[in-house]
Chains A and B, each alone.
Chain A
């Protein structure tokens, strides 16, 4: 078999690693003779993943852009209408509402979650590295968004939810957490903060492990307090990790859907109709598939810009610990 013979000749493994046992190739593996690659073998290994990538990532991405330029009711065939969906979108108050609601959600979610996660991570760093504690803190992350939503939907129920029982025990007025326009988004944000803060804390905790102890020791010798050390050492040195954490959590938050879909379903009125819920509603309930695709293109662009902006501004990957 040709593939096999090519295979034997190409003894190089790691890029740039010297190849042993192949005479005449020199010690530096990078200057291989042309044509002597593992291409045949590589195609074989990569074929299933390539099929998956082409069929379920690349093709739908291109198709998604195309659909966004069409009028498509799911029943007929798409008709090309140019940029009409986009011009319509910019005049659609429900789109702007969805965007605004989503941004509010992201701000609540990221603000509280990040602060809590850093706090938890520092607590664990200072007090205990116990696997049991870390496992407990990770527990909510394991259950699905749907289950977390159901659980809090029950705990926060207006009539007999435990939280409202406690509120009325204190002599205060019951709160319709999911049912009131002003509290719906903060409540949905809370459910996701509860589910994700432990996970985020463990990411930050992993970042804390990379800060060497001698830095703190030196600071302590110079009379720095824990509080000072936190702001002057921990936070600056944590920045690259924190940047990656923020990119992941912010882009994830923009795609909030599950919690809304099983609790408020966008309500009351439009108070919690987040952008991804609006996309699904347009596409699958109102048969405006082209329009839904246009909104998802906008979401894509927003997410990519946010990620690039954060990576640039926060200089992820460049440590100050030189």
Chain B
């Protein structure tokens, strides 16, 4: 609808102006479209290059570095990073021969991102309900205090949190990875509180007259009515968790807890013969990016339409 109004405005302005001006306007529009196309290409082409390289043979890349198609097409790089090929096969194609198992790192990333997201969104929703709907002394002070946590840079709390996890014996464990994200983030509480405040209280009041308590109202009225923003928040949180690097780098450094981002960093330093195993590296990045790309394909509209300052005025 908004598109149409803009179009019609342009057309009105168009017909109202004289011929030379209209031509200039059209030239401007062509230029603008060209800029947009260049932009889209520069966004998409690196992704194509990633795919093209992942299906190439690493050793053969040197012979034809600018080829638009995979050089010496093979699934070898994927087999190699998923730990499915032998050391000799891997070496022959330009791999380092060091054992890598991106299936395992994929599993680790899944556990980390899913558990952290589930806990964070659920507990933040509970808290948001208390801030939006319950009356209690100190509510606004506690809420403001929670919000100030937004100002604290992650590195500042990461150092002492690392010490805490070490004294709890949680280094190289999933609890160590997940716990700091599990209970809340200021943003999640803020986001959900803002939405809960916008829900009409009439249904709740009717439910209360029928004797429903806050627990029932939360689970049977508020949660179902907020399904859409909760799904959106979950997707955004999952993406953030999936891409997290610093904390997993500090905490998860054995095979059993290494997540994809950390594993990619390690893989990149294993350089056979001075130059990285490019095909392997690109296959690994593709494996790491694929789950997010799939989620994005499924939920693109929801994610795209929710970029903005939700709730901020």
Contact = CB atoms under 8 A, between A and B. Distances in A.
Contacts of B312: 244, 317
B243 interface: yes
Interface string B36-54: 1001101110110110010
B9 interface: yes
A17 B201 contact: yes
A57 B134 contact: no
Interface in B284-313: 285, 288-289, 292-293, 296, 300-301, 303-305, 307-309, 312-313
A177 interface: no
B164 A48 contact: no
A53 B139 contact: no
B32 A261 contact: no
A288 to B, nearest CB: 11
B213 A7 contact: yes
Secondary structure class of chain B's binding surface, majority of residues: helix
Interface in A128-145: 128-129, 131, 133-140, 142-145
B204 interface: yes
Interface stretch (B73-81, B85-93, B95-103, B175-183): B175-183
Interface stretch (A98-106, A159-167, A180-188): A159-167
B264 A136 contact: no
Contacts of A172: none
A51 B197 CA distance: 24
Interface residues of B, number: 104
B23 interface: no
A166 B66 CA distance: 8
Contacts of B265: 146, 261-262
Contacts of B163: 63, 67, 289
Contacts of A217: 9
A90 interface: no
A111 interface: no
A169 interface: yes
B5 interface: yes
B189 interface: yes
Nearest to B261: A146
A262 B214 contact: no
Secondary structure class of chain A's binding surface, majority of residues: helix
Given A63-B163, A146-B265, A303 B136 contact: no
Contact of A45 (B9, B65, B130, B288): B130
A144 to B, nearest CB: 3
Contacts of B27: none
A198 B43 contact: yes
Interface stretch (A35-43, A80-88, A230-238): A35-43
A129 B3 contact: yes
A262 B135 contact: no
B254 interface: no
Interface string B202-238: 0011001101011000100000000000000000000
A202 B307 CA distance: 6
Contacts of B26: none
Contacts of A91: none
A153 B209 CA distance: 63
A52 interface: yes
Contacts of A59: 160, 164
A52 B49 CA distance: 42
A57 B288 CA distance: 29
Contact of B250 (A133, A153, A216, A284): A284
Q: Chain B CB within 10 Å — which of A49, A131, A206 has the most?
A: A49
A213 interface: yes
A286 interface: no
B74 to A, nearest CB: 17
29 contacts: A10-B134, A13-B204, A21-B209, A37-B137, A39-B137, A42-B135, A45-B126, A46-B127, A46-B131, A49-B127, A52-B182, A53-B145, A57-B157, A59-B160, A61-B157, A64-B156, A67-B163, A125-B6, A135-B304, A144-B261, A146-B243, A146-B265, A150-B282, A206-B307, A217-B9, A255-B153, A261-B265, A297-B156, A303-B153
